[in-house]
Each structure stands twice: as structure tokens, then as C-alpha cells.
Structure 1
Amino acid sequence: MSVTKQPIDFLIYLLLFGSAIFVNKYVLSVLKFTYPTIFQGWQTFVGGILLRVLLSNKCLSVSATELDKPGFISLLPSFLFFSAGIVASSKALANLSVPMFLCLQNSLGAVLYLVDVAPSFRMAGPIPLLACLTTIGTAVSAVLSDIDMTFSDSPYFWMMVNLACMAVQALHSKIADARYTDVDRLYFSYVFSVVVLAPVSLYLEEAFEVLHFPHAMRYDFYAGCLLSGILGLFLNLSSMKVRKQNLFSIVDATGRLFTSVLALATFNDVTSLTVKILIGINLLSGVFVPIPIAHSPEEPDEMMEPLTEGA
């Protein structure tokens, strides 16, 4: 990637990140569309079709690899945890403030970094280690200061499920079939999620309950649902492109910080001052936490450029 293109690529990533969070929060919390299997099934349906179009028209610098039986077996854990993770993420974001949601996501990056440098921490500098411990500590403290200790169907429970699924996906990507790029895994995860979430929505009766959704005829509802799928796809593609850059961890953490500040001015937030201070420390310390990189070794850097002949 050209150095001169990095600021533009980072800016695109930040805009996509903030937009995706705000659109999802609006649909889930403001419109109260609390049917995660339907919402995420729709997102993956839109994202899967759009990604298929991009691949078919060679708009990306990678081509799709056919999914054979060994590849399916190798990637199946990733498919399962991807589907479970996005549903849990919707249930968490619907009831958590955006700053708390991003604060807890920050803790996952810190944990993965510590796992990446273990068992010998000599490869890690004191500042990243301190930042990791601060990030994890403040996230735990923020939850304990705000949590309903019954924990019954709590958004924190679903956030834990989401973080666990994301962690397993990140670790599994290191041992998955190397023939498949990140784009391949994303596309097949989309297809798998659509196939799985459709019958699950029927089993949980969400497909019938959604017929009585009071805002079903509002234009902002349709626009939000459509945008959530489009923004989710392009955010994933943008992340694949820029996360290999040295400054990505700083840019990503800064984006979470600014998104949280904007969210405080946009959405209703009843979080106590103590929790807000802990979240602020968490988001600031996240700037100094390096992000472990896990990607396919053959995957090109120029993700969004067209395929060249012979590629």
C-alpha cells in the first residue's frame, strides 16, 4: 500500500466504522428492532449478495476459492462462531451504550495481544503491557460498577458471548485452511449465516413476531436495515486492507474514542459518571495496545483495487 494512500484509507475506515455503529445502534435501540436473527440474517444476506457481485465483476484484487469438503470442515468452526457472534453482538448493542460496547471490545484486543506474546513477555514493551492491563482492568471495573448482578439475559452476558466468539475466530484463523483468504472466509460466513439464521428465526418465532413490529413501514427503518448490511460489508473489506499497517492500532483505537464521544451527544446514555470515567481511561489506554495481525499470507494488500490479468 502506498504511503500517500494511507491517510485516505484510514479515513475511509474511520467513517465506515462510526457509520456502522451508529446505524446499527439506531435500528436496535431507537427503533427497538430487537429481533437479532432477522436483523443479522438480513445483514448477511445483503452483504453476501453484494460481495458476490464484487467478486463476480472482479472489483476486488482476490478471486473466490471454491469451498470443497476439506475446506468446509476446516472453516466450519469459524462459520459457527461468526454466526453466534453477530447475533450476540446485536443483543448486546441493543441494550448497552455505544461507549460501553466499544470499551468491552477494547478488552478483547488487549487479551489477544497478551495471548500473542505469551509465554515470554520479553518481546512486548512495558508500555503495551501496561496499556493491556489498564484496558482489561478498566473494562472489568466498568462492568462491575454497572452490572445487574442477577445477570439474567443481561446485555453483558451477550457481550461476553460475542467477545468469546470473536476471540475463537481470531485464534482459529491461524490454523484454518490457508487456501482461503479473509474475503473467502467472509463470503462463506455470510452464506452460512443466512442458511442457519433463517430456520433459527422460525424456531425462535422471531419471524412471526417481526410481523407486528410497529415501525415496519417507516422509511428510516428500511434505510437503516439496508445500510447496516452495506456498511458492514465495506467495513470488513476496509479493515482487511488497512489492519496490516503499523498505525492501524492507533487509528482503530482513536476511532473508537471519537465514536464514543459522538455517541454520547447522539443517543440517550444514563451511565453513571464513575463508569464513564472508567470507559474513558479504557478507550485512551487502547491507543497503546498493539493489534495482533492474523491474515492469509497470500492475500494481496490492495484489497479494493480491481484484479489484474493473470492474478
Structure 2
Amino acid sequence: WQTLVGGLLLHISWKLGWVEMNLCSRSEILSWLPASVLFVGIIYAGSRSLSRLPIPVFLTVHNAAEVITCGFQKFVQKEQISHLKVCSVLFLLAAAACLPLCDTQFDPNGYLWALIHLICVGAYKVFHKLWKPGSLSDLDQQYINYVFSVVLLASASHPAGDLFSALDFPFLYFYRFHSSCCASGLLGFFLMLHTVKLKSSTTSGQYAAWSFLAK
């Protein structure tokens, strides 16, 4: 729902001239598709995990994805990382690792999907760091993610059995459920748009500070 609504809003904004996008280069689009696959993995694994785990537990595991990016910078790119950041990342890892041990309602499938979500988030960030900037802007990348996720998830819903499972959802015919889904997509779209504009109008240090405060 969120990607469908977000994709439609971004497409309408593009056609009305409210945002600028450039999707003329097919090679650039194809080079970004691996990131779109990871984006779908983030969405699908995250939704599966959220259906089984409490939100605080899920967010704790989600934040531990910073371990992957930090480890990549430290051991692959050989970048200098401050001791403060290393300590904070280790605390995130320790918190996520201790959750299954302290969870009285331990759900192995929920944690498995959370782990897959964590890996996809970390891999997406690493790919974004390695990807050489070309003609695709942040909005272009997000638009490709939206379109790819809608097409892939819609086409895979029947083989994966999610289509028939959705028909058994107890709140499927409640207007509050549909309005909440639309509101989620709307808020996600505005958050993405604001993040892109903030990133383009501030320095990397200022953007990192705002991101830290947001988390």
C-alpha cells in the first residue's frame, strides 16, 4: 500500500512539475535494479516481522543494520571510524543480540524475518555507498523502487500465497484499515520528499546530525 500510494503521488508530482526527475537512461535504471530488489526485501521481510514481533523489538533489530555498513567501511573500505561510533554500533548489536534471550514470547519466525530485514537494510546502504552517482537523483531512485516493488509484490502475491491470506484478514473490509494504509503511504511519501530536500540543502555533517536526531 505504501509503495503504491507513494509511487502514484510521486508520479503525479512529476507530471505536474512539482518535482524534477530524469529517467531517460535505461542503463542507469538497470544498474539500480539490484537496490530495488533489496528494497523489496526490506519491505516484505519487515512486514512479515512486524506481524509477529512488537514494534520496539523490530526497531531494535532494524537499527542494528548500522553494524553492516560500519563493518563494511571499517574492514572493506579501510575508512577511519571514530571510537564513539564503533561503541554505539556495538551497543546496537548487543541490544539486538540480547532480545531473543530476554523475550518471553520468543517467535523464531518473527526473528528470522527481522534478521532478513536487517541484512537487506544493511546491503541496501552498502550498495548505495558503492553505486557510482550518475544521472539518477534520489527521487529517481525512489521512483524506481516504488514501481519495481509494486510490480514485483503484486505479481508474486499469488505464488507466495499472500493473496489468499489477505482475503482472510479480519479487518479487510474496515474503512479504518484502508484509510490507515492510505495515510501510511501519504506520510511515507512526504517523509521521503522532505528527506531528499533536506539532504540536498544541507551539508553531509548537518544531514547526519538531523538523521541522528530523527532516530
Equivalent residue runs for 1:87-98 within 5 Å: 87-98=44-55
Note the C-alpha offset of 1:116. 2.0
Match of 1:123 in 2: 80
**Which secondary structure state, in structure 1, belongs to the residue aligned with residue 134 of structure 2?**
coil
AA aligned opposite 2:196: M
Among 110, 122, 142, which residue is 1:155 paired with? 110
Structure 2 unaligned runs (5+)? none
Note the C-alpha offset of 1:53. 1.0
Is 1:63 the equivalent of 2:21? yes
The CA distance in 1 between the partners of 2:80 and 2:110, in whole Å, is: 36
The CA distance in 1 between the partners of 2:145 and 2:131, in whole Å, is: 17
Match of 1:75 in 2: 32
Note the C-alpha offset of 1:190. 0.9
Note the C-alpha offset of 1:171. 1.6
Among 183, 204, 222, which residue is 2:178 paired with? 222
1:123–1:211 Cα change, 3 Å: closer
Equivalent residue runs for 1:184-263 within 5 Å: 184-242=140-198, 245-256=204-215
Per mean C-alpha deviation after superposition, the further-off stretch among 236-245 and 175-184 is: 236-245
Match of 1:273 in 2: none
1:156–1:150 Cα change, 3 Å: closer
Is 1:136 the equivalent of 2:96? no
Match of 2:58 in 1: 101
The CA distance in 1 between the partners of 2:81 and 2:24, in whole Å, is: 39
**Which secondary structure state, in structure 1, belongs to the residue aligned with residue 21 of structure 2?**
coil
Cα offsets for 1:6-61 (capped at 9, x unmatched): xxxxxxxxxxxxxxxxxxxxxxxxxxxxxxxxxxxx2221111100111122223x
Match of 2:3 in 1: 44
Note the C-alpha offset of 1:90. 0.7
Query: Normalising by structure 2, what TM-score?
Result: 0.84
**Which secondary structure state, in structure 1, belongs to the residue aligned with residue 64 of structure 2?**
helix
The answer to which structure has the higher helix fraction is 2
Match of 1:306 in 2: none
Percentage of identical aligned residues: 27
1:255–1:88 Cα change, 3 Å: same
Note the C-alpha offset of 1:65. 2.3
AA aligned opposite 2:24: E
The CA distance in 2 between the partners of 1:177 and 1:248, in whole Å, is: 18
**Is the 1:55–1:64 Cα contact (8 Å) retained in structure 2?**
no
Measured on the aligned residues, the alpha-carbon RMSD in Å equals 2.6
**Is the 2:62–2:117 Cα contact (8 Å) retained in structure 1?**
no
Per mean C-alpha deviation after superposition, the further-off stretch among 225-234 and 207-216 is: 207-216
**Is the 1:65–1:184 Cα contact (8 Å) retained in structure 2?**
yes
**Is the 1:110–1:133 Cα contact (8 Å) retained in structure 2?**
yes
AA aligned opposite 2:61: L
1:234–1:147 Cα change, 3 Å: farther
The CA distance in 1 between the partners of 2:29 and 2:157, in whole Å, is: 24
The CA distance in 2 between the partners of 1:202 and 1:120, in whole Å, is: 41
Note the C-alpha offset of 1:206. 2.5
Q: Would you say how many aligned residue pairs link Structure 1 and Structure 2? A: 211
**Is the 2:53–2:107 Cα contact (8 Å) retained in structure 1?**
no
**Is the 1:92–1:158 Cα contact (8 Å) retained in structure 2?**
yes
**Runs of 4+ displaced beyond 6 Å:** 147-150
Query: Normalising by structure 1, what TM-score?
Result: 0.60
Note the C-alpha offset of 1:99. 1.6
AA aligned opposite 2:4: F
**Is the 2:35–2:124 Cα contact (8 Å) retained in structure 1?**
yes
